[in-house]
Structure 1
Amino acid sequence: MYDTILSQPGLSYAGVLDYIPGRLASLAKGNSAKKVEASVEKLVVARFVVVDEATAELLIRSFVRHDGVLARANMGKAVARAYGKVLSPKVRNAVLDELARAYNEGESHSGLSGFADIEPDAMADVIERAERIAS
């Protein structure tokens, strides 16, 4: 299921995807929405994803840290735009936490150039969270 989610064309630069179990179920023969929901619940419990069913959004938690989007110049703007489209407060909070973790990792590995393009107000929140995580 994790690979299926990662391979969806609608996955944003922030790692967020519309969570529609029936659509995901249609990608594999013999799958059902209930099977997708059960598989995704296992990913939630294992902390691989965050789901907000009220807004039908799913976040791949480590996406911004491991996909390399923040290692490339100008991609911070794309991540920020994608973040701005997230409706769920729960998912928005999780994205900010992951950006803070990426910021900490980038600081210890000579920085990530994509952070340069994130708006200063948003970066202030990311840096504040990064400091809380680091302490």
Structure 2
Amino acid sequence: MLKESIWRDKDWRLLPRTAQATYVQLISQKELDRAGIQPLQVAKWAKGCNDLTAEDLCADLKVLEQHRFVFVDEDTDELFVRSYMRHCDVARYPNILKNALRCARMVASEKLRHELAKELRRLHKADADQVADAIDPPGFEPDFDEPQLNGSETLPNPSETLPQTVPATVPERLNGSETPTEPQGYGSGYGSVTLGSSQVGGAREREPNADNEPPPDSNDPPPRHCPKHMPGGTLDPCGACKEHRQRHDRWLANADIEQKRAQQAAAREEASRRAQLAVDRQLAITDCDLCDDNGYRGAHVCDHIDRTETTKAGIAAVRAALAKGSAK
């Protein structure tokens, strides 16, 4: 359930009712990752209402993008909920932030990476800034005019719980809703709506624990082709396929680096094991009175076991057996 204060926000109230409903539908999707990215699934979303068509939903998405609530790239089939990370407070939780940064690196669309990079910089975290610099396409020019604010302007705060003054370096205004969600977040299950660090609707927030840790990265490489040209690709020029190939190649390069690191770690571990064996062998030679300084007893490698008494006992037993046989 959304906070009641959203309905008093001027930017939110400018949206048509269907666009508002579509936004609520988007932020309740379980496919929404921690970076605010989800696959573009117009046909699926249109099935959420019997009176809604795919064309109607596309019109809502266009309105939401015009008001900078979401951004859509039809070439890569991706959608970005712009202020999701900040107002789900992902920067507050290191593991969740780490997962969000991994998700950000996997975005294929240059358009969405450009917007995502700006949002990452607004988290004011060094690792988020590094990822932003890595994913922001150089020389990218958006197809729309980005609104500007001066450094003294304070942005609207419909939640009434997250006052925020925009620094002079932020070249845009906040999303009017201030209500992105954490679909698998702290204190909520699939489909619930979380605002900032509080649970919307009065439910008490729970701290993250081992049960909701971000899932580990997949061992499978990302696809080489865009969804439209899977699985075999196309011979025609396709910008989305190019981005997927680049992402695939980066994944392979990183995997090769990780493999080399693992091999180096295994080699170091083996060298350490051999060194310890050498130390143990030398100590055994030093403590042994049976072998020479090289660990040999005569022509054989010494096992440092004194078998003198055992041999004597064996000889005595044999002699006793022979003597018993002769007596009979």
Query: Fold conserved (TM > 0.5)?
Result: yes
CA deviations on 1:100-121 (whole Å, 9 max, x unpaired) are 1232xxxxxxxxxxx46x3784
Q: TM-score, normalised by structure 1?
A: 0.77
Residues 121 and 128, structure 2, Cα contact 8 Å, conserved in 1: no
Residues 101 and 133, structure 1, Cα contact 8 Å, conserved in 2: no
Q: Give the C-alpha shift of residue 30 in structure 1.
A: 1.6
1:4 to 25, 29, 33: 25
Gaps of 5+ in 1: 104-114
Q: Quick one: higher RCO (CA 8 Å, sep 6+), 1 or 2?
A: 1
2:169 is paired with a residue whose SS is helix
Residues 49 and 60, structure 1, Cα contact 8 Å, conserved in 2: yes
The separation in 1 between residues aligned to 2:169 and 2:111, in whole angstroms, is 18
Tell me the equivalent position of 2:111: 90
Residues 52 and 91, structure 1, Cα contact 8 Å, conserved in 2: yes
CA deviations on 1:75-130 (whole Å, 9 max, x unpaired) are 22101111122110110111110111232xxxxxxxxxxx46x378426x39xxxx
The separation in 2 between residues aligned to 1:88 and 1:23, in whole angstroms, is 21
Q: Find the structure with the greater CA-based Rg.
A: 2
Q: TM-score, normalised by structure 2?
A: 0.33
1:30 is paired with a residue whose SS is coil
Tell me the equivalent position of 1:31: 52
Residues 69 and 82, structure 2, Cα contact 8 Å, conserved in 1: yes
Taking a change above 3 Å as real, the CA distance of residues 58 and 134 of structure 1, as seen in their structure-2 partners, is closer
Identical pairs, percent = 31
1:53 to 74, 81, 86: 74
Taking a change above 3 Å as real, the CA distance of residues 27 and 68 of structure 1, as seen in their structure-2 partners, is same
Residues 105 and 131, structure 2, Cα contact 8 Å, conserved in 1: no
The separation in 2 between residues aligned to 1:53 and 1:132, in whole angstroms, is 32
The separation in 2 between residues aligned to 1:84 and 1:7, in whole angstroms, is 23
Computed over aligned residues only, the root mean square deviation of the Cα atoms, in angstroms, reads 2.3
* 2:143 is the alignment partner of 1:122: no
The separation in 2 between residues aligned to 1:132 and 1:54, in whole angstroms, is 33
Pairs aligned (count): 118
Report the residue type matching 2:169 in the other structure: I
Whose helix fraction is larger, Structure 1's or Structure 2's?
Answer: 1
Task: Give the ranges of 4+ consecutive aligned residues of structure 1 lying more than 3 Å apart after TM superposition.
Answer: 118-121
Tell me the equivalent position of 1:18: 39
Tell me the equivalent position of 2:61: 40
Report the residue type matching 1:89 in the other structure: E
1:47 is paired with a residue whose SS is coil
Tell me the equivalent position of 2:122: 101
Report the residue type matching 2:131 in the other structure: A
Tell me the equivalent position of 1:106: none
The separation in 2 between residues aligned to 1:25 and 1:48, in whole angstroms, is 19
Report the residue type matching 2:55 in the other structure: K
